Protein backbone atom coordinates (compact mmCIF):
# COMPACT_ATOMS: atom_id res chain seq x y z
CA UNK A 1 0.00 0.00 0.00
CA UNK A 2 1.22 3.50 -0.79
CA UNK A 3 2.23 5.41 2.33
CA UNK A 4 2.10 9.07 3.32
CA UNK A 5 3.54 11.00 6.25
CA UNK A 6 2.11 14.22 7.67
CA UNK A 7 4.48 16.18 9.87
CA UNK A 8 2.80 18.51 12.34
CA UNK A 9 -0.52 17.85 14.12
CA UNK A 10 -2.03 21.30 14.31
CA UNK A 11 -5.40 21.86 12.62
CA UNK A 12 -3.71 21.81 9.18
CA UNK A 13 -1.88 18.53 9.72
CA UNK A 14 -4.92 16.90 11.31
CA UNK A 15 -7.14 17.87 8.39
CA UNK A 16 -4.51 16.67 5.90
CA UNK A 17 -4.01 13.30 7.63
CA UNK A 18 -7.76 12.70 7.84
CA UNK A 19 -8.24 13.47 4.14
CA UNK A 20 -5.43 11.14 3.05
CA UNK A 21 -6.70 8.38 5.32
CA UNK A 22 -10.22 8.71 3.96
CA UNK A 23 -8.73 8.61 0.45
CA UNK A 24 -7.46 5.13 1.22
CA UNK A 25 -3.77 5.78 1.85
CA UNK A 26 -1.82 4.46 4.82
CA UNK A 27 -0.99 7.70 6.64
CA UNK A 28 1.12 8.40 9.73
CA UNK A 29 1.00 11.69 11.62
CA UNK A 30 4.07 12.98 13.47
CA UNK A 31 3.89 15.61 16.24
CA UNK A 32 6.81 16.91 18.29
CA UNK A 33 4.72 17.96 21.32
CA UNK A 34 2.67 15.74 23.65
CA UNK A 35 -0.73 16.66 22.16
CA UNK A 36 -2.46 17.46 18.90
CA UNK A 37 -4.14 20.73 18.00
CA UNK A 38 -1.27 23.22 17.92
CA UNK A 39 -2.39 26.62 19.20
CA UNK A 40 -6.06 25.56 19.43
CA UNK A 41 -6.48 25.11 23.18
CA UNK A 42 -9.64 25.51 25.24
CA UNK A 43 -9.52 25.43 29.03
CA UNK A 44 -12.09 25.54 31.85
CA UNK A 45 -11.26 27.13 35.18
CA UNK A 46 -13.42 28.56 37.99
CA UNK A 47 -16.53 28.49 35.82
CA UNK A 48 -14.86 30.27 32.88
CA UNK A 49 -14.14 28.80 29.44
CA UNK A 50 -11.10 30.43 27.85
CA UNK A 51 -9.28 30.03 24.56
CA UNK A 52 -5.49 30.10 24.56
CA UNK A 53 -5.38 30.46 20.79
CA UNK A 54 -8.07 31.48 18.28
CA UNK A 55 -11.43 32.40 19.81
CA UNK A 56 -13.85 31.83 16.94
CA UNK A 57 -14.05 31.13 13.24
CA UNK A 58 -16.09 32.38 10.31
CA UNK A 59 -18.38 29.93 8.57
CA UNK A 60 -16.76 28.65 5.36
CA UNK A 61 -17.74 25.64 3.19
CA UNK A 62 -14.55 23.59 3.72
CA UNK A 63 -14.49 23.79 7.49
CA UNK A 64 -18.25 23.22 7.75
CA UNK A 65 -17.94 20.04 5.66
CA UNK A 66 -15.17 18.87 7.98
CA UNK A 67 -17.27 19.59 11.07
CA UNK A 68 -20.24 17.76 9.58
CA UNK A 69 -18.11 14.73 8.70
CA UNK A 70 -17.00 14.55 12.34
CA UNK A 71 -20.58 14.69 13.64
CA UNK A 72 -20.04 17.97 15.50
CA UNK A 73 -22.80 20.14 14.00
CA UNK A 74 -24.97 19.87 17.11
CA UNK A 75 -22.13 21.25 19.24
CA UNK A 76 -21.74 24.49 17.29
CA UNK A 77 -22.69 27.82 18.84
CA UNK A 78 -22.90 31.14 17.01
CA UNK A 79 -22.37 34.66 18.23
CA UNK A 80 -25.21 36.31 20.05
CA UNK A 81 -27.28 38.60 17.82
CA UNK A 82 -26.59 41.45 20.23
CA UNK A 83 -22.83 41.11 19.81
CA UNK A 84 -22.58 42.38 16.25
CA UNK A 85 -21.05 45.76 17.09
CA UNK A 86 -17.34 46.44 16.70
CA UNK A 87 -15.66 49.17 18.72
CA UNK A 88 -12.47 51.17 18.40
CA UNK A 89 -10.84 53.74 20.65
CA UNK A 90 -10.68 57.34 19.45
CA UNK A 91 -9.32 60.15 21.61
CA UNK A 92 -9.39 57.80 24.59
CA UNK A 93 -13.08 56.92 24.20
CA UNK A 94 -14.66 53.65 23.07
CA UNK A 95 -16.79 54.33 19.97
CA UNK A 96 -18.79 51.98 17.76
CA UNK A 97 -17.69 51.38 14.19
CA UNK A 98 -20.37 51.99 11.56
CA UNK A 99 -22.17 48.81 10.49
CA UNK A 100 -23.40 50.27 7.17
CA UNK A 101 -22.63 53.20 4.82
CA UNK A 102 -25.54 55.31 6.21
CA UNK A 103 -24.29 54.68 9.75
CA UNK A 104 -20.87 55.94 8.69
CA UNK A 105 -22.30 59.43 8.21
CA UNK A 106 -23.30 59.56 11.88
CA UNK A 107 -20.32 57.71 13.32
CA UNK A 108 -17.75 59.51 15.52
CA UNK A 109 -15.13 56.99 14.36
CA UNK A 110 -14.18 59.39 11.53
CA UNK A 111 -14.29 63.16 11.19
CA UNK A 112 -16.31 64.85 8.46
CA UNK A 113 -13.13 65.30 6.47
CA UNK A 114 -12.32 61.62 6.81
CA UNK A 115 -15.82 60.63 5.68
CA UNK A 116 -15.65 62.90 2.63
CA UNK A 117 -12.28 61.38 1.68
CA UNK A 118 -13.86 57.92 1.74
CA UNK A 119 -16.46 59.10 -0.78
CA UNK A 120 -13.66 59.69 -3.30
CA UNK A 121 -12.58 56.02 -3.22
CA UNK A 122 -14.55 54.87 -6.31
CA UNK A 123 -12.74 57.49 -8.40
CA UNK A 124 -9.19 56.42 -7.47
CA UNK A 125 -7.40 54.56 -10.26
CA UNK A 126 -6.24 50.99 -9.50
CA UNK A 127 -2.59 50.43 -8.69
CA UNK A 128 -0.12 48.07 -10.32
CA UNK A 129 -1.49 44.50 -9.95
CA UNK A 130 2.02 43.12 -9.38
CA UNK A 131 3.06 45.77 -6.89
CA UNK A 132 4.62 44.90 -3.53
CA UNK A 133 2.71 47.83 -2.02
CA UNK A 134 2.23 47.83 1.73
CA UNK A 135 -1.25 47.79 3.24
CA UNK A 136 -0.62 51.25 4.72
CA UNK A 137 0.25 52.69 1.30
CA UNK A 138 -2.72 50.94 -0.30
CA UNK A 139 -5.18 52.16 2.33
CA UNK A 140 -3.87 55.72 2.33
CA UNK A 141 -4.01 55.85 -1.47
CA UNK A 142 -7.55 54.53 -1.73
CA UNK A 143 -9.21 55.56 1.55
CA UNK A 144 -7.14 58.37 3.01
CA UNK A 145 -4.89 58.69 6.05
CA UNK A 146 -7.69 58.88 8.61
CA UNK A 147 -9.33 55.66 7.44
CA UNK A 148 -5.92 54.01 7.52
CA UNK A 149 -5.27 55.02 11.12
CA UNK A 150 -8.75 54.43 12.56
CA UNK A 151 -10.18 51.62 10.43
CA UNK A 152 -7.40 49.55 8.85
CA UNK A 153 -4.74 49.89 11.53
CA UNK A 154 -6.88 48.45 14.38
CA UNK A 155 -8.19 45.73 12.05
CA UNK A 156 -4.61 44.67 11.34
CA UNK A 157 -3.95 44.48 15.08
CA UNK A 158 -6.96 42.22 15.50
CA UNK A 159 -6.01 39.80 12.73
CA UNK A 160 -2.22 39.82 12.55
CA UNK A 161 -1.11 41.79 15.64
CA UNK A 162 0.85 43.56 12.92
CA UNK A 163 1.80 46.87 11.35
CA UNK A 164 0.03 47.93 8.11
CA UNK A 165 3.22 49.66 6.96
CA UNK A 166 4.98 46.28 6.94
CA UNK A 167 2.20 44.03 5.63
CA UNK A 168 1.55 43.30 1.96
CA UNK A 169 -1.82 44.56 0.72
CA UNK A 170 -1.88 41.89 -1.96
CA UNK A 171 -1.10 38.94 0.33
CA UNK A 172 -2.33 39.96 3.79
CA UNK A 173 -5.72 41.13 2.48
CA UNK A 174 -6.13 39.48 -0.94
CA UNK A 175 -9.84 40.29 -1.17
CA UNK A 176 -9.40 44.06 -1.21
CA UNK A 177 -6.55 43.73 -3.70
CA UNK A 178 -8.85 41.64 -5.91
CA UNK A 179 -11.67 44.17 -5.63
CA UNK A 180 -9.40 46.99 -6.73
CA UNK A 181 -8.05 45.07 -9.71
CA UNK A 182 -11.36 43.50 -10.79
CA UNK A 183 -13.84 46.29 -10.08
CA UNK A 184 -11.62 49.36 -9.87
CA UNK A 185 -12.95 50.19 -6.40
CA UNK A 186 -13.25 48.59 -2.97
CA UNK A 187 -16.78 49.90 -2.55
CA UNK A 188 -17.87 48.60 -5.96
CA UNK A 189 -16.23 45.24 -5.26
CA UNK A 190 -17.93 44.97 -1.88
CA UNK A 191 -21.35 45.85 -3.30
CA UNK A 192 -21.05 43.40 -6.19
CA UNK A 193 -19.85 40.67 -3.84
CA UNK A 194 -22.90 41.22 -1.61
CA UNK A 195 -25.22 41.21 -4.62
CA UNK A 196 -23.70 37.99 -5.94
CA UNK A 197 -24.05 36.30 -2.57
CA UNK A 198 -27.69 37.40 -2.38
CA UNK A 199 -28.39 36.22 -5.95
CA UNK A 200 -26.91 32.82 -5.14
CA UNK A 201 -28.96 32.58 -1.98
CA UNK A 202 -25.91 32.38 0.27
CA UNK A 203 -26.51 33.80 3.77
CA UNK A 204 -24.01 36.01 5.52
CA UNK A 205 -21.28 33.80 7.08
CA UNK A 206 -21.79 33.27 10.79
CA UNK A 207 -19.14 33.61 13.48
CA UNK A 208 -18.96 30.27 15.27
CA UNK A 209 -17.40 28.22 18.04
CA UNK A 210 -18.35 25.09 20.00
CA UNK A 211 -20.09 24.73 23.36
CA UNK A 212 -16.84 23.50 24.91
CA UNK A 213 -14.50 25.68 22.86
CA UNK A 214 -12.59 25.31 19.61
CA UNK A 215 -10.55 22.38 20.91
CA UNK A 216 -13.69 20.32 20.32
CA UNK A 217 -12.74 20.26 16.64
CA UNK A 218 -9.07 19.35 17.02
CA UNK A 219 -9.87 16.74 19.70
CA UNK A 220 -12.35 15.05 17.37
CA UNK A 221 -9.83 15.04 14.53
CA UNK A 222 -7.10 13.70 16.82
CA UNK A 223 -9.38 10.92 18.11
CA UNK A 224 -10.15 9.80 14.57
CA UNK A 225 -6.39 9.51 13.91
CA UNK A 226 -5.07 8.33 17.29
CA UNK A 227 -4.00 4.86 16.06
CA UNK A 228 -1.77 6.41 13.42
CA UNK A 229 -0.37 9.36 15.39
CA UNK A 230 3.11 9.55 16.90
CA UNK A 231 3.22 12.19 19.65
CA UNK A 232 6.45 13.48 21.19
CA UNK A 233 8.19 12.52 17.97
CA UNK A 234 10.73 14.92 16.53
CA UNK A 235 11.36 14.62 12.79
CA UNK A 236 15.05 15.25 12.30
CA UNK A 237 15.58 14.78 8.57
CA UNK A 238 13.91 13.82 5.31
CA UNK A 239 16.03 12.15 2.64
CA UNK A 240 15.24 11.08 -0.90
CA UNK A 241 15.91 7.35 -1.40
CA UNK A 242 15.03 5.45 -4.59
CA UNK A 243 12.09 7.67 -5.48
CA UNK A 244 10.67 7.69 -1.96
CA UNK A 245 11.16 9.93 1.06
CA UNK A 246 12.87 8.50 4.11
CA UNK A 247 11.71 10.21 7.30
CA UNK A 248 14.16 10.06 10.20
CA UNK A 249 12.56 10.79 13.57
CA UNK A 250 13.31 10.38 17.25
CA UNK A 251 10.78 9.23 19.85
CA UNK A 252 11.55 8.67 23.53
CA UNK A 253 15.25 8.40 22.67
CA UNK A 254 14.70 5.80 19.95
CA UNK A 255 15.27 6.37 16.25
CA UNK A 256 12.42 5.83 13.80
CA UNK A 257 13.18 5.47 10.12
CA UNK A 258 10.73 4.63 7.33
CA UNK A 259 10.04 5.47 3.69
CA UNK A 260 6.98 7.22 2.30
CA UNK A 261 5.60 7.94 -1.14
CA UNK A 262 4.42 11.43 -0.12
CA UNK A 263 5.14 13.79 2.76
CA UNK A 264 3.09 16.82 3.85
CA UNK A 265 4.93 19.40 5.93
CA UNK A 266 2.21 21.02 8.07
CA UNK A 267 4.63 23.17 10.03
CA UNK A 268 5.11 26.83 10.93
CA UNK A 269 7.88 28.79 9.21
CA UNK A 270 10.51 28.39 11.99
CA UNK A 271 10.11 24.59 11.99
CA UNK A 272 10.23 24.47 8.19
CA UNK A 273 13.40 26.56 8.17
CA UNK A 274 15.16 24.20 10.60
CA UNK A 275 14.07 20.95 8.93
CA UNK A 276 16.87 19.07 7.16
CA UNK A 277 15.81 17.93 3.70
CA UNK A 278 18.85 16.10 2.32
CA UNK A 279 18.61 15.57 -1.40
CA UNK A 280 21.71 17.27 -2.72
CA UNK A 281 19.59 20.21 -3.89
CA UNK A 282 19.77 23.66 -2.35
CA UNK A 283 17.59 23.79 0.72
CA UNK A 284 15.75 27.07 0.18
CA UNK A 285 13.55 26.64 3.26
CA UNK A 286 16.28 28.22 5.39
CA UNK A 287 15.09 31.56 3.99
CA UNK A 288 11.91 31.22 6.05
CA UNK A 289 13.82 32.39 9.12
CA UNK A 290 13.06 35.86 7.75
CA UNK A 291 9.28 35.42 8.29
CA UNK A 292 8.42 37.58 11.28
CA UNK A 293 6.41 36.04 14.14
CA UNK A 294 5.99 38.73 16.83
CA UNK A 295 5.26 37.66 20.43
CA UNK A 296 1.72 37.77 21.80
CA UNK A 297 0.25 37.44 25.27
CA UNK A 298 -3.43 36.56 25.64
CA UNK A 299 -4.91 37.51 29.02
CA UNK A 300 -8.35 36.47 30.24
CA UNK A 301 -9.94 38.65 32.90
CA UNK A 302 -13.23 37.87 34.65
CA UNK A 303 -15.38 40.50 36.38
CA UNK A 304 -18.56 40.48 38.42
CA UNK A 305 -21.42 42.13 36.54
CA UNK A 306 -21.56 45.02 39.00
CA UNK A 307 -17.99 45.93 38.01
CA UNK A 308 -18.94 46.58 34.38
CA UNK A 309 -19.12 50.17 33.18
CA UNK A 310 -19.98 49.30 29.58
CA UNK A 311 -22.74 47.01 28.25
CA UNK A 312 -20.13 44.97 26.31
CA UNK A 313 -22.74 44.75 23.57
CA UNK A 314 -20.43 43.78 20.80
CA UNK A 315 -17.56 41.68 19.52
CA UNK A 316 -14.85 43.69 21.24
CA UNK A 317 -12.69 46.78 20.99
CA UNK A 318 -9.56 47.37 18.91
CA UNK A 319 -7.09 50.14 19.54
CA UNK A 320 -5.40 52.19 16.79
CA UNK A 321 -1.67 52.64 17.26
CA UNK A 322 -2.14 56.43 17.33
CA UNK A 323 -3.92 56.03 20.67
CA UNK A 324 -0.65 54.76 22.21
CA UNK A 325 -2.17 52.25 24.62
CA UNK A 326 -0.25 49.27 25.99
CA UNK A 327 -2.80 46.71 24.70
CA UNK A 328 -3.90 45.90 21.14
CA UNK A 329 -7.53 45.37 22.06
CA UNK A 330 -9.98 43.13 23.89
CA UNK A 331 -12.70 40.65 23.00
CA UNK A 332 -15.97 40.67 24.94
CA UNK A 333 -15.78 36.87 25.15
CA UNK A 334 -18.82 36.24 27.34
CA UNK A 335 -20.93 38.47 25.07
CA UNK A 336 -19.97 36.41 22.02
CA UNK A 337 -20.82 32.88 23.10
CA UNK A 338 -22.83 31.31 25.93
CA UNK A 339 -21.10 29.54 28.79
CA UNK A 340 -17.91 31.59 28.77
CA UNK A 341 -18.36 32.98 32.28
CA UNK A 342 -20.29 32.09 35.46
CA UNK A 343 -23.70 33.63 36.03
CA UNK A 344 -23.56 37.39 36.76
CA UNK A 345 -19.96 37.57 35.53
CA UNK A 346 -18.27 38.66 32.31
CA UNK A 347 -15.10 37.51 30.56
CA UNK A 348 -12.84 39.82 28.57
CA UNK A 349 -9.84 38.60 26.55
CA UNK A 350 -7.02 41.12 26.21
CA UNK A 351 -4.21 40.99 23.63
CA UNK A 352 -0.77 42.45 24.32
CA UNK A 353 2.39 42.46 22.24
CA UNK A 354 2.52 41.95 18.50
CA UNK A 355 4.65 44.07 16.22
CA UNK A 356 3.59 47.16 18.14
CA UNK A 357 4.82 46.01 21.58
CA UNK A 358 7.51 43.37 21.13
CA UNK A 359 8.84 44.16 24.60
CA UNK A 360 5.98 42.06 26.03
CA UNK A 361 8.33 39.10 25.62
CA UNK A 362 10.66 40.60 28.23
CA UNK A 363 8.01 41.53 30.81
CA UNK A 364 6.78 39.45 33.73
CA UNK A 365 3.39 37.80 33.35
CA UNK A 366 1.97 39.46 36.47
CA UNK A 367 3.01 42.89 35.19
CA UNK A 368 1.29 42.36 31.83
CA UNK A 369 -1.90 41.09 33.47
CA UNK A 370 -2.02 44.05 35.86
CA UNK A 371 -1.46 46.51 33.03
CA UNK A 372 -4.20 44.87 30.94
CA UNK A 373 -6.69 45.27 33.78
CA UNK A 374 -5.69 48.93 34.21
CA UNK A 375 -6.21 49.61 30.51
CA UNK A 376 -9.73 48.16 30.61
CA UNK A 377 -10.51 50.43 33.53
CA UNK A 378 -8.94 53.47 31.86
CA UNK A 379 -11.11 52.88 28.78
CA UNK A 380 -14.24 52.91 30.93
CA UNK A 381 -15.12 49.27 30.38
CA UNK A 382 -14.80 48.08 33.98
CA UNK A 383 -14.12 49.35 37.47
CA UNK A 384 -12.17 47.55 40.16
CA UNK A 385 -10.09 44.40 40.19
CA UNK A 386 -10.87 41.27 38.16
CA UNK A 387 -11.98 38.19 40.08
CA UNK A 388 -10.42 35.84 37.53
CA UNK A 389 -7.05 36.01 35.79
CA UNK A 390 -5.44 33.62 33.34
CA UNK A 391 -2.78 34.23 30.72
CA UNK A 392 -0.85 32.44 28.00
CA UNK A 393 2.25 33.63 26.14
CA UNK A 394 3.18 32.79 22.56
CA UNK A 395 6.82 33.82 21.86
CA UNK A 396 6.29 33.36 18.12
CA UNK A 397 2.66 34.05 17.28
CA UNK A 398 1.07 35.05 13.97
CA UNK A 399 3.25 35.05 10.81
CA UNK A 400 3.40 38.45 9.15
CA UNK A 401 2.57 38.53 5.44
CA UNK A 402 5.11 41.25 4.68
CA UNK A 403 5.84 43.11 1.48
CA UNK A 404 8.25 40.34 0.45
CA UNK A 405 5.72 37.59 1.06
CA UNK A 406 5.41 36.92 -2.65
CA UNK A 407 9.04 35.75 -2.63
CA UNK A 408 8.23 33.14 0.01
CA UNK A 409 5.26 31.89 -2.03
CA UNK A 410 7.57 31.46 -5.03
CA UNK A 411 10.04 29.66 -2.76
CA UNK A 412 7.40 27.08 -1.80
CA UNK A 413 6.63 26.36 -5.43
CA UNK A 414 10.30 26.03 -6.37
CA UNK A 415 10.96 23.76 -3.39
CA UNK A 416 8.08 21.42 -4.22
CA UNK A 417 9.18 21.24 -7.85
CA UNK A 418 12.68 20.22 -6.77
CA UNK A 419 11.28 17.73 -4.24
CA UNK A 420 8.36 15.92 -5.95
CA UNK A 421 6.24 14.16 -3.39
CA UNK A 422 6.78 16.77 -0.65
CA UNK A 423 3.97 19.26 -0.11
CA UNK A 424 4.05 22.32 2.14
CA UNK A 425 0.89 23.27 4.04
CA UNK A 426 1.70 26.12 6.40
CA UNK A 427 0.12 29.10 8.09
CA UNK A 428 2.85 31.20 6.46
CA UNK A 429 1.58 30.09 3.05
CA UNK A 430 -2.17 29.54 3.11
CA UNK A 431 -3.63 32.10 5.53
CA UNK A 432 -3.73 32.54 9.29
CA UNK A 433 -7.39 31.94 10.20
CA UNK A 434 -8.72 28.62 11.48
CA UNK A 435 -10.79 28.00 8.29
CA UNK A 436 -7.73 28.88 6.16
CA UNK A 437 -5.61 26.35 8.03
CA UNK A 438 -8.21 23.58 7.88
CA UNK A 439 -8.82 24.19 4.17
CA UNK A 440 -5.07 24.20 3.50
CA UNK A 441 -4.72 20.77 5.08
CA UNK A 442 -7.40 19.36 2.81
CA UNK A 443 -6.13 21.18 -0.30
CA UNK A 444 -2.56 19.94 0.03
CA UNK A 445 -3.80 16.46 0.97
CA UNK A 446 -5.72 16.42 -2.32
CA UNK A 447 -2.50 17.36 -4.13
CA UNK A 448 -0.64 14.57 -2.32
CA UNK A 449 -3.44 12.11 -3.15
CA UNK A 450 -3.17 12.96 -6.86
CA UNK A 451 0.58 12.42 -6.67
CA UNK A 452 0.07 9.05 -4.97
CA UNK A 453 -2.54 7.99 -7.50
CA UNK A 454 -0.11 8.67 -10.36
CA UNK A 455 2.58 6.46 -8.85
CA UNK A 456 2.82 2.84 -10.05
CA UNK A 457 1.46 0.29 -7.61
Q: Could you give the residue range(s) of every CATH 1.10.3110.10 domain in the chain?
A: 111-199
Q: Which pLDDT does position 282 carry in this prediction?
A: 55
Question: Which residues, 6+ apart, have CB-to-CB distance to 287 below 8 Å?
Answer: 273, 408, 411
CATH number for region 3-41+214-291+401-454? 3.50.50.60
Closest CA to 216 of 47, 339, 317: 339
CA distance 287 to 283: 9
d(CA 131, CA 134) in angstroms, rounded, equals 9
Provide the pLDDT for residue 1: 85
| CATH 3.90.660.20 boundaries in the chain | 80-109+294-397
* Cα(398)–Cα(35) distance, integer angstroms: 20
Q: Which residues of the chain, if any, have pLDDT below 70?
A: 101, 279-283
pLDDT for the residue numbered 98: 81
Is the CB of residue 219 less than 8 Å from the CB of residue 57?
Answer: no
Delimit the CATH 3.50.50.60 region(s) of the chain.
3-41+214-291+401-454
- Closest C-alpha among 336, 340, 356 to residue 158: 356
Q: Which of 161, 50, 215, 45 is nearest to 395 (CA)?
A: 161
CB 86 within 8 A of CB 316: yes
C-beta separation of 82 from 328 below 8 A: no
DSSP E strands: which ranges in 279-421? 296-304, 316-318, 329-331, 345-353, 388-394
In 3D, which of 217, 213, 232, 211 has the Cα closest to residue 18?
217
> What pLDDT score was predicted for residue 105?
72
Q: pLDDT value at position 425?
A: 97
Tell me the CATH architecture of domain 80-109+294-397. Answer: Alpha-Beta Complex (3.90)
- 111-199: what fold? protoporphyrinogen ix oxidase, domain 3 (1.10.3110)
DSSP 230-267: E-SEEEEEEEEETTEEEEEEEETTEEEEEEESEEEE--
Using an 8 Å Cβ cutoff, are 356 and 188 in contact? no
CA–CA–CA angle 429, 432, 438 (5° rounding) = 85
User: What pLDDT does residue 279 have?
Assistant: 60
**Cβ pair 95, 88 in contact under 8 A:** yes
**Alpha-carbon distances, residue 35 vs 41, 53, 80, 176, 268 (angstroms):** 10, 15, 31, 37, 16
Amino acid sequence: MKKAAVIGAGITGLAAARHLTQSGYHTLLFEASDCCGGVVRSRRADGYLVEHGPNSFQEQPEIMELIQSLGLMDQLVETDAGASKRFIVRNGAVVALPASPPALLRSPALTTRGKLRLLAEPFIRPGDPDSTESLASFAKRRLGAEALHYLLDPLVSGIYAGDPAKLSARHAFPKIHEWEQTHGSLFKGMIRSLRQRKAEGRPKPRLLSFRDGLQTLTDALAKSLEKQTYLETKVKAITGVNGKWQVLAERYGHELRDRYDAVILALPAPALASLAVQTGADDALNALTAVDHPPLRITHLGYARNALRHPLDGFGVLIPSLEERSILGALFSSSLFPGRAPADHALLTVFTGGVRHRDVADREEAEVITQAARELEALGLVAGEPVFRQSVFWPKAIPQYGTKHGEFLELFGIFEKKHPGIFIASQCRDGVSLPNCAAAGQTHAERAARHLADLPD
